[in-house]
Amino acid sequence: QVQLVESGGGLVQPGGSLRLSCAASGFTFRNYAMTWYRQAPGKERELVASISAAGGSTNYADSVKGRFTISRDNALNTVDLQMNSLKPEDTAVYYCNARRDFIGTTRNYWGQGTQVTVSS
């Protein structure tokens, strides 16, 4: 059974930090690119940060560059998102995604999300 379980969300003041973690099981984690998405109320889900299967390549949304860092541990089957200098506009539900492209199809797995609220 495939599972992606996010943790680490919560309430933080502007300028603060949080570290999100996503624990994966039920699939071959090291073969999947991992991505953090977020969705704020009334807005579409957007990509925050992604990391390649081996961890050698990362990509960030312009809005989080220099503040967020994505990392993965293929031995522990986890992917983390370190979020620094948080802003109220970072408030959203954050989702962990695993993706692998095959010939003719793509396999996607999603976590249930974790709430991040940035407010004073």
Query: CA-CA distance, 16 to 10, in Å (whole number)?
Result: 11
Query: CA-CA distance, 20 to 7, in Å (whole number)?
Result: 6
Tens-digit pLDDT string for the chain (120 aa): 999 999 999 999 999 999 999 999 999 999 999 999 999 999 999 999 999 999 899 999 999 999 999 999 999 999 999 999 999 999 999 999 999 999 999 999 999 999 999 999
Instruction: Give the pair of three-digit tokens for residue 41.
Output: 């109320």
